[in-house]
Structure 1
Amino acid sequence: MIKNHQKNQDEVNSDEAVFESFFSDVLRKMPATTAKIMQQTFNESRVKAEKIVFNSRHQVERRFSEFLDGVDNQTKTKCHQIIHAAALTAAIVGCSPIPFSDAFLLVPIQLTMMSRLHKLFGQSWSASVGKSLSKELVVVGLGRGAVGNIIKFIPAVGTVTGAAINASVAVSITEALGWTTVKMLNDGEDLFEQVMSFRGQFNILFKAMHNLK
Structure 2
Amino acid sequence: MRLLNKKTKVSKEKSKEQEVEPLLSEKLDQEEFDSFFSEVLKKIPQKTSKVILNTYEKSKKVAETILEKNQVKFDHVFEDFLKGVDPITRKKSHRIIHAASLTAAIIGCSPIPFSDAFLLVPVQLTMMARLHKLFGQPWSESLGKSLSKELVVVSLGRSAVGNLVKFVPAVGTVTGAAINATVASAITESLGWVTVKMLNDGEDIFEQVMSFKGQFQTLFRALKTVSKK
TM-score by length of 2: 0.84
Q: Does 1:178 align with 2:192?
A: yes
2:110 counterpart residue number? 96
1:117 counterpart residue number? 131
Measured on the aligned residues, the alpha-carbon RMSD in Å equals: 2.1
Q: Does 1:78 align with 2:92?
A: yes
1:145-160 pair list within 5 angstroms: 145-155=159-169, 157-160=171-174
SS across alignment from 1:124: coil
Structure 1: 5+ residue stretches without partners: none
Residue 141 to residue 108, structure 1, CA distance change in 2 (3 Å): closer
Max Rg structure: 2
Structure 2: 5+ residue stretches without partners: 1-14
1:127 counterpart residue number? 141
State the shift of 1:132 in Å.
3.9
Say whether the 8 Å CA contact 1:93–1:101 is kept in structure 2: no
2:223 counterpart residue number? 209
- 2-side partners of 1:24 and 1:80: how far apart? 18
Question: Number of residue pairs matched?
Answer: 212
SS across alignment from 1:64: helix
Deviations 1:71-124 (CA, angstroms, capped at 9, x unpaired):
462x33210110111111000011010122411100000000000000000000
1:198 counterpart residue number? 212
- 1-side partners of 2:202 and 2:158: how far apart? 33
Say whether the 8 Å CA contact 2:77–2:222 is kept in structure 1: no
Say whether the 8 Å CA contact 1:100–1:146 is kept in structure 2: no
Q: Among residues 67, 71, 84, which one is paired with 1:57 in the alignment?
A: 71
State the shift of 1:203 in Å.
0.8
Say whether the 8 Å CA contact 1:67–1:183 is kept in structure 2: yes
Q: Does 1:67 align with 2:82?
A: yes
Q: Among residues 142, 153, 162, which one is paired with 1:139 in the alignment?
A: 153
Say whether the 8 Å CA contact 1:68–1:186 is kept in structure 2: no
- 1-side partners of 2:127 and 2:226: how far apart? 22
State the shift of 1:23 in Å.
0.5
Q: Which amino acid aligns with 1:131?
A: K
Deviations 1:9-55 (CA, angstroms, capped at 9, x unpaired):
22212111111111111111111111111111110000000111111
- 2-side partners of 1:28 and 1:8: how far apart? 30
Larger deviation: 157-166 or 134-143? 134-143
1:29 counterpart residue number? 43
Say whether the 8 Å CA contact 1:138–1:173 is kept in structure 2: no
Percentage identity across paired residues of the two chains: 59
